[in-house]
Amino acid sequence: MPTESTFFLAGLFLLLAAAGWALGRFGERDEEEGAPPPLNVDYLKGLNFLLNEQTDQALEHFLKMVRVDDKTIETHFALGSLFRRRGEVDRAIRIHQNIIARPDLAAEQKDQALFSLAKDYLRAGLLDRAENVCVRLANGSRYQVEALEQLCRIYELEHEWQKAIDAGQKLEVLSGRSLELEIAHYYCELAEQAIANKDYRAARAYVKKAQSGRPRTMRGALTRAGIARDTNDTKTALRLYHRIIDESNYLITEALPQLVDIYDRENATDKLERNLENLLAKHPEIKNDVAYTAIVNQIDGVKVIDNCVEDYMMNEPTLTDFIDMQTIEDANGQHRAAALKKVRAALSKLASTTPRYQCKECGFSSQQLLWQCPSCKYWETQRPFTSVRFDSVLQRTTPAP
């Protein structure tokens, strides 16, 4: 089936014929004025390839026929961009390389062609090549800002965090735009790499840099709390985890399991109970988050948390549609506890297979907290669901109509 680009090329061939380019300008004009010029062989060959839907060959003939000059360069750029948009990246690369090969190309047009080529490489997943071209453009061209933006994106994909920081800082200076949040996350990534290598000193230094910017990301505090926990600095770890929940309630999903674990290790569950009671008195709106976090992480045996879970189960609208929760509520002691335990175990199982976080920008959902959304690429836009996603379970089990 002919593609959009086939039609575009066909249109170009027709335009060339109509303008007399193929027959006059690009053919040998040795006839007298007014006499019919000879047919251009490349033009006919190109048309023939198009009619047979051999777009690659047609493109080669188009490039051979139409030299890049001031009058045709925009057509070349338009065709290159069309091919890239269609996902025909090899063809886009061929066109942009053809433009760059022109010996007398103006510097501005060369930069434009190089930047187009970088976008082609990026689209094709050829990160090294895209990086090389962008580094060249970032060192002095009218595409400096755009090239630095692409470099940040490339370094994020390559996990080259120090290079991403350098490009981000240059970009801030040139564009006048703050990238402090992105750069803070780049430092947190470096800190996490250092933690993986058990280099806690380097990790602390990176976190410090991550937390020096504004707005501050709580990821820095979470990473620092993790370092304190791993190095048995219990006091610092507890202080930080409490602060994280207090300042960014939604991160209770990450901090609560750690808190329960540390208090448990310290045999200080009564202290945890008191602290959680105070927290819920201050932020009653996070009861569901506490309950859902406990269900997902199978935390039980802490009275304040168990109460939140029970309240959650009694009031979960989809759950009460399926189970007669009131009968369970009215049952006596042992039966009630056994029934609730069963429901809780079932919920825990469901929660382990349904998404827990969703990006507030694009709606992408995942099981784990992802600091950079893989879909829209924004940082720190994921928020936790506060209940089991029954809709996603039902979607999976409902056969297609």
Q: Which residues bind Zn ion (CB under 5 A)?
A: 359, 361-362, 364, 373, 375-376
**Minimum CB separation from Zn ion for residue 371, in Å?**
12
Distance (Å) of CA 61 to CA 1, 50, 120, 392: 21, 10, 21, 52
Residues 6+ apart with CB under 8 A from 30: none
* Cβ closest to Zn ion, residue 258 vs residue 382: 382
As measured in angstroms, the least distance from the Cβ of 372 to Zn ion is: 9
Taking the least distance from each CB to Zn ion, the nearer of 200 and 371 is 371
Distant-in-sequence, close-in-space partners of 355: CB < 8 Å, separation ≥ 6: 365, 366, 367, 385, 389, 392
* Separation of alpha carbons 75 and 100, rounded Å: 14
- C-alpha distances out from residue 9 to 4, 45, 84, 249, 342, Å: 9, 13, 14, 56, 66
Least separation in angstroms between residue 54's CB and Zn ion is 40
Q: Determine the Cα–Cα distance for residues 203 and 195; give it in Å rounded to an integer.
A: 6
| Shortest distance (Å) from residue 360 CB to Zn ion | 8
Give 270 or 361: the residue with its C-beta nearer to Zn ion.
361
| Residue among 324 and 361 whose Cβ is closer to Zn ion | 361
Q: From residue 132, how far is each of 121, 138, 145 by CA, in Å?
A: 10, 10, 15
Which residues, listed in sequence order, are joined to residue 384 by a DSSP beta bridge?
357
The 10 Å CB-count burial string (b at 16+, else e) for 127-142 is bebbbebbbebbeebe
Using the minimum distance from each CB to Zn ion, give the nearer residue, 3 or 366. Answer: 366
- Which residues, at least 6 apart from 359, have a Cβ–Cβ distance to it below 8 Å? 365, 373, 375, 376, 378, 381, 382
**At its nearest, how many Å lie between Zn ion and the CB of residue 267?**
42
Which stretch of DSSP H or E encloses residue 113?
A: helix 107-124
Interatomic CA distance for residues 89 and 213, integer angstroms: 39
Least Å from the CB of residue 376 to Zn ion: 3
Query: Toward Zn ion, which CB reaches closer, 53 or 361?
Result: 361
Token couple for 385: 């669901």
> Please, what is the minimum distance in Å from the beta carbon of residue 363 to Zn ion?
7
Whether 361 and 227 have beta carbons less than 8 Å apart is answered as no
Residue 150 or 381 with smaller CB distance to Zn ion: 381
In the complex with Zn ion, the residue whose CB is nearer, 240 or 359, is 359
Q: In angstroms, give the least distance from the CB of 202 to Zn ion.
A: 30
Long-range contacts of 6-10 (CB under 8 A, 24+ apart): 6/50, 6/53, 6/55, 6/58, 8/79, 8/82, 9/50, 9/55, 9/58, 9/59, 9/62, 9/79, 10/47, 10/50
CB of 219 to Zn ion, least distance (A): 16
Min dist. Cβ of residue 135 to Zn ion (A):
28
Q: Name which of 263 and 364 has its Cβ closer to Zn ion.
A: 364
Nearer to Zn ion, 19 or 376 (CB): 376
Cβ atoms of 86 and 4 within 8 Å: the answer is yes
CA distance 91 to 389: 44
CA-CA-CA-CA torsion for 204, 209, 215, 217, nearest 10 degrees? -30
